[in-house]
Amino acid sequence: MTVEFTADFKRTIEQRLAHLYKPDDKAQALDALLSMLAKYQAIFPNKVQGHRWNEEDMILITYGDSVCGLENKPLQSLYKFWLEYLDKVLPCIHILPFYPFSSDDGFSVIDYKMVNHELGSWHDIMQISDNVDLMFDYVLNHISRESLWFVDYVSGNKPYTDYFIQLPPETDTHLVTRPRNTPLLAPIHTRQGLKYVWATFSEDQIDLNYANWRVLIAMIDVFLFYISKGARFVRLDAVAFLWKQLGTNCIHLPETHEVVKLLRDIIDEIAPWVVIITETNVPHSENLSYFGAGDEAHMIYQFALPPLVLFTMHRGNSETLTSWCMSLNPPPDNCTFLNFTASHDGVGLRALENILPPHELESLVDSMHQFGGFVSMKSNSDGTESPYEINISYYDAMLGTRTGPDQWQQQRFLCSQTLMISLQGIPAIYIHSLLATPNDLEGVESTGRLRSINRKKWQAVDLDKHLSSRDGLVFKEYKRRLQLRKMQKAFSPDAEQKVFDISSQLFVIRRSHKQQTLFAIYNVTSRIVELDLQKLYHGNDATLIDVLSGTQYQADKTIKIEPYQALWLS
């Protein structure tokens, strides 16, 4: 079957490529891209898109081997765990990179199109995708030094000699934004002698050279391959660093945004059911730029949310979170936020720049040390270092407040999670938050990596014991609240959100859908707080029902809210 694209689509693609490449390169790239798109469109399913998302969409974030021992292979164990515990709760799974890798727990990919045989096979992935919406990681900024592409570079084999960025070691790169404190240029022994290549994240993660149009086409092939394997959500990992230009900070460059727009154009044309998510751990205003004019990412990570919620609970004061939420503009049409409090990485701190004063950040970091956590640093252009992320289990981050540990860990943690899942957007829940996993200090000791503190690999027998323990009660209650959330039309990503500035002890929002209005109220302190409901609802004869407890409240009354209690009044 011959696939024909409209003249408008061809023109749009050509204009995108013209922003990236010289005329001859642009022409070759266009021919190669259109040919590839036709091939994939012929094999893509003809899905009917009823809606892009609704209130039932929630995402479980997990490694392929976060749960082991239920079946022969970890991916099979993960699927069995989902079937047993989460089938009617979380309809989507973000399986963190399940490809062969050499470091960084999957984010140094050796082969983009293979499944790590220690986890399972493509058959296992496809079996999961039959019943679950999947999010794939598209690690498009860099590749493992053990990949065939890089092996060919080292050997001097064309065209791979141009797939990476090679610079003299004395090159001035001080303007380049760094998320790590490792050297930017990694020394590599090649057949032509010692060379230095661009490596933003580590000497094992070598950046790709998108100034070479063949790299772009090869990586779009990977993107389309993932969609052919069942990806509904595609996460663009570290996309902000994609394009390099010496003399700039090499982050968020116009060419990077042009590549994201190109991917969006492709999705809109041949796979409109797919959702593109940009992962950019940067200050909040920079993060928002990846919506573009509604023509880039469908979703962006709310990187300011994890540290702001943590700060709110740690301080027992909602003022900063309230102010930040009130400053948020609604996302463009057909766009929304990905809300989360924890992930496989630490609690990123860059998003707090210009939001939290340095002394408050220092106090927060000090408390996380007290609760068993660590802090990772980043290099600054002036040669100094500053905190980049806190490494801690989010559950143990709730062990106490700035005054120290207390008895409220479970209630405080559940309040933080219930708050997150009620905000406008789609919630993503990290498996170790869902399971209330404590700090994995043994993991840090065995790997030597701080991030291992929140990457425990549960064996079935140990997980059973954990879920039968006191901390297992958190899992049961968290799961119950997720089930209730799915039933509330007011939690549709497209439902309006209004934030109320009522009290520093309360965080209050209203979510409004044509079929439901719901007030979400959170006591962020360890004290009982009173609230006059007339400040929220002006109907004196109305009865409000708390979705979470079933309790009824008269709208003209003052109510008492228990420490860290969450209310969903509908």
In angstroms, rounded to a whole number, what is the distance separating the alpha carbons of residues 494 and 511? 10
The secondary structure element, H or E, covering residue 326 is helix 319-327
Chain-centroid distance of CA 152 in Å reads 32
Q: Is 124 exposed, middle or buried (0-12, 13-18, 19+ CB in 10 A)?
A: buried
In angstroms, rounded to a whole number, what is the distance separating the alpha carbons of residues 88 and 95? 18
Residue type, 395: Y
Q: Comparing C-alpha atoms, which of 191, 189, 190, 196 is closest to residue 169?
A: 196
Q: What is the DSSP string of 60-84?
A: EEE-TTSEESSSSSHHHHHHHHIII
- The token pair at 268 is 């809109």
Whether 237 is catalytic is yes
DSSP state of 85: I
Three-state secondary-structure class, residue 164: strand
Three-state secondary-structure class, residue 361: helix
Give me the residues paired with residue 374 across strands: 391
Q: For tokens 């500053």, what's the residue? A: 386
> Which residues are annotated binding-site positions for substrate?
104, 142, 235-237, 344-345, 451
Q: Comparing C-alpha atoms, which of 279, 396, 294, 398 is closest to residue 345?
A: 279
Q: For tokens 């900024």, what's the residue? A: 141
Q: What residues have CB less than 8 Å from 170, skipping those under 6 apart?
A: none
Work out the angle at residue 234's Cα, subtended by the Cα atoms of residues 86 and 425, and round it to the nearest 5 degrees: 65
Cα first-last separation, the chain: 53
> Which residues are annotated binding-site positions?
104, 142, 235-237, 344-345, 451
In angstroms, rounded to a whole number, what is the distance separating the alpha carbons of residues 308 and 321? 6
Q: Residue 157 — φ and ψ, nearest 5°?
A: -90, 125
Q: Residue 509 — φ and ψ, nearest 5°?
A: -135, 160
User: 319 with 504: CB under 8 angstroms?
Assistant: yes
- Maximum Cα–Cα distance across the chain: 82
Q: What is the DSSP string of 33-45?
A: HHHHHHHHHHHS-
Q: What residues have CB less than 8 Å from 334, skipping those under 6 apart?
A: 52, 294, 298
Instruction: Give the CA count within 13 Å in the CB-facing half-sphere of 433.
Output: 32
Active site residue: 237, 396, 440, 546, which one? 237
Q: Comparing C-alpha atoms, which of 468, 469, 395 is closest to residue 429?
A: 395
In angstroms, rounded to a whole number, what is the distance separating the alpha carbons of residues 396 and 410? 9
Residue type, 300: I
In angstroms, rounded to a whole number, what is the distance separating the alpha carbons of residues 181 and 194? 22
User: 318 with 524: CB under 8 angstroms?
Assistant: yes
Residue type, 397: A
Give catalytic residues, as residue numbers. Answer: 237
